Amino acid sequence: MKRIIIITIVLGWSAVSAQQTQKPPLHGRHWMAITGKPLAATAGAMIFQKGGNAVDASCAMLAAACTMWDTLSWGGETQALIYNPKTKKVIAINAMGVAPTGATPGFFKNKGYEFPPEYGPLAATTPGTPGGLIYMLMNYGTLSLKEVLAPAMELAAGYPIEAQAANTMERGRKLIGEWPYSKKVFLPHLDAADTSHKKRAAPEAGEIFVQQDLWETLNKMVAAEQQALKVGKSRKDALMAAYNRFYKGDIAKEFVRGSSEQGGLITMQDLADWKPLEETALTTKYKGIDVYKMKQWTQGPVMLQALNILENFDLKGMGYNSAQYIHTVYQAMNLSFADRDFYYGDPYFAPAEPMSGLLSKDYARERAKLIRPERNNPNIGPGDPYPFEGKTNPYLNLLRKRGYELDTTKRNFAPKHDLGSLTTDEAYQDRLWRGTTSVEAADKEGWVVSITPSGGWLPACIAGNTGIGMSQRMQSFVIDSALNPFNVVAPGKRPRVTLSPALALKDGKPFLASAVQGGDTQDQNLLQYFLNVVEFGMTPQQAAEAENFNSNQLWLSLGGTKNEDRAPKPGQLLINTKTNDQVKETLKKMGYQLSVGDRTSGPINAVYFDWRHGSLWGASSNHGEDYGVGW
């Protein structure tokens, strides 16, 4: 009997590794540029053709994606993992904005919120993307801001808008109509006399979409750089001139004025005090592969924790997406997300997060013991990592008092990834993709960049005449310390966000860079992508298109302003329509409540390094507009 089972698994794995993909894989020898929209990927290719490196190209793609409102804008946030071939180290760029002056738990409680709002000026942290882009370009790029922003500026001057962004503007016209500067940009065909919504107010697909205010903002940044160069300033000082004009000059003044006029809290001092940070990435080793993620102000360490737990199991022996495999990975994700929900936060604010304990292999082995092989555990909660770093947990009483909402009927907010067949495909995709894009770039010199920028997505509130949509990331804070004492909103603090690029090295060399859209599902899907390649031998493109599954047994990071909107839904499992009936029935018997959809992952973008052949593989899943260019 054992021999038959082994043969079945091997044959199944062989079938998986031989499957055809809907999109062809990308191949390149010199460079690879992949992001959320074809025109933005083209911007990266243009920079490579000018002689720029992967950092230059990633900055150009980031700028273009923001300009195209690829579920983000210029007022949002950026975080990047960069492999520096000169030092052979992975660094992390923290360009997450912070809560503004006056953003306190009491402020939001007095307005009746249990979380900061999802949209509008009060959802905004300070802009991080402009500063993060300039920092990366200044320290690791080679070209000027003028060269890198040229494609984005051409797009701002007018480009044929695609259906996804245009239709999102139209669907959000009611909310957009409340913000005068947004209405001016997004609803150019709005007739003030037409209140019936019968006439389309947003641009049509293919229409030339012009953003004059944004073009002028970008032009001001470039002009500051060029003026500094003209008077003999260094490249670095010239880039800082552009940075200062945005965060301390006339751009900042108009941004603050426009935000304040609409009820926002951001001040000139908030902008002047903020700065991007360079950090040491967190890492773990899985079967000889070093996996890197952002620090705990993101959810990135979730993937590292899950890998530590899963290395205690024979995943390959279970078979790809067998009931036992789905169950085991689901449980490992739940254990890791329970820790995320309680222990992750801004490392630059007290209290200090117990990250060495959380990432301890010994802690992972203890957590792995909680996985029941035969049934879902609906009562999984945060563990106690403190003994694994030689300390006593100061929050044991809080953990004992804290309860979980186990009645799934009490959460009426549909998470972005839990809509499945319950809605139209278009509506599901819109929610699945909302809020994030990804940028992947690599070059023959060895530079590798993986970014998951976000914030300021449609419907966005634009700050004055800057053309810049404000971030909505304040909603990822909590205002009740019982939910997470490390992530309570405070002025100057970064929220614990879902944004989470990944980068892996093997034998000291780049192996795999990846990122994905999708809120709380990001590290669920990146974990499965990584396992698809490492455990099941899929090609990068096969792994990007493979059928994933998602857990809802976690606290949501986005959407809704009440606890019941975000509380965990134990046993809720989104699986793909291709999952066979026997696996579905087995999962139901194990205590799972299944929802089924043909899209069970946001668009995954990745670059794989084929050292045997000396080439690059690019991957971009079939779930969105994402694609890339290689050479």
* Pairing relationship of beta strands 593-597 and 572-576 according to DSSP bridges: parallel
Q: Indicate the pLDDT class of residue 195, thresholds 50, 70 and 90.
A: low
Q: What does the alpha-carbon distance between residue 479 and residue 463 come to, in Å, rounded to a whole number?
A: 25
Question: pLDDT tens for residues 26-44?
Answer: 999 999 999 999 999 999 9
Report pLDDT for 317.
98
Question: pLDDT tens for residues 144-194?
Answer: 999 999 999 999 999 999 999 999 999 999 999 999 999 999 999 998 656
> Nearest 5°: phi and psi at 504?
-130, 140
Segment 315-328 mean pLDDT: 98
Report pLDDT for 194.
64
Q: What does the alpha-carbon distance between residue 57 and residue 82 come to, in Å, rounded to a whole number?
A: 13
Q: Indicate the pLDDT class of residue 196, thresholds 50, 70 and 90.
A: low
Query: Higher confidence at residue 422 or residue 482?
Result: 482
Element (H, E) at 329: helix 323-343
Q: 0.75 cut: is pTM over it?
A: yes
Report pLDDT for 599.
85
Question: pLDDT tens for residues 334-344?
Answer: 999 999 999 99
* Pairing relationship of beta strands 89-95 and 282-286 according to DSSP bridges: unpaired
Q: What does the alpha-carbon distance between residue 496 and residue 389 come to, in Å, rounded to a whole number?
A: 22
Position 589: which residue type?
K
The yes-or-no verdict on residue 247 having pLDDT over 80 is yes
* Among 137, 130, 126, residue whose Cα is nearest residue 272: 126
Q: Indicate the pLDDT class of residue 198, thresholds 50, 70 and 90.
A: confident
Report pLDDT for 404.
41
Q: What does the alpha-carbon distance between residue 354 and residue 367 come to, in Å, rounded to a whole number?
A: 15
Question: pLDDT tens for residues 125-141?
Answer: 999 999 999 999 999 99
The yes-or-no verdict on residue 289 having pLDDT over 60 is yes
Report pLDDT for 285.
98
CA 113 to chain centre: 25
**In this structure, are residues 365 and 523 in contact, taking their beta carbons and an 8 Å threshold?**
no
Segment 83-90 mean pLDDT: 98
Report pLDDT for 598.
87
Query: What average pLDDT is seen over the chain?
Result: 91
Report pLDDT for 464.
98
The yes-or-no verdict on residue 329 having pLDDT over 60 is yes
DSSP letter at 111? T
Segment 292-317 mean pLDDT: 98
Report pLDDT for 10.
36
Q: What does the alpha-carbon distance between residue 44 and residue 440 come to, in Å, rounded to a whole number?
A: 10
Report pLDDT for 624.
79
The yes-or-no verdict on residue 505 having pLDDT over 60 is yes
Report pLDDT for 522.
95
Q: What does the alpha-carbon distance between residue 454 and residue 296 come to, in Å, rounded to a whole number?
A: 17
Question: pLDDT tens for residues 357-409?
Answer: 999 999 999 999 999 999 999 989 999 999 999 999 999 988 887 754 434 44
Report pLDDT for 502.
98
Report pLDDT for 192.
60
Report pLDDT for 197.
66
Question: pLDDT tens for residues 612-621?
Answer: 999 999 999 8
Report pLDDT for 423.
35
Position 491: which residue type?
P
Report pLDDT for 436.
81
Report pLDDT for 415.
38
| Domain residue ranges of the chain, discontinuous segments joined by + | 39-275
Q: Which residues pair with 607 in a beta bridge?
A: 513, 618
The yes-or-no verdict on residue 16 having pLDDT over 70 is no
Q: What does the alpha-carbon distance between residue 47 and residue 56 come to, in Å, rounded to a whole number?
A: 7
> Nearest 5°: phi and psi at 498?
-85, -15
CB contact burial 221-237 (16+ within 10 A = b; e otherwise)? bbebbeebbeeeeebee
Neighbours of 100 (CB within 10 A): 24
Report pLDDT for 622.
86
Report pLDDT for 18.
53
Query: Higher confidence at residue 189 or residue 7?
Result: 189
**In this structure, are residues 428 and 420 in contact, taking their beta carbons and an 8 Å threshold?**
yes
Q: What does the alpha-carbon distance between residue 518 and residue 6 come to, in Å, rounded to a whole number?
A: 35
In three-state secondary structure terms, 91 is strand
Question: pLDDT tens for residues 57-75?
Answer: 999 999 999 999 998 999 9
Q: What does the alpha-carbon distance between residue 270 and residue 313 come to, in Å, rounded to a whole number?
A: 48
Question: pLDDT tens for residues 561-613?
Answer: 888 888 899 999 999 999 999 999 999 999 999 999 988 888 999 999 999 99
Q: Indicate the pLDDT class of residue 431, thresholds 50, 70 and 90.
A: very low
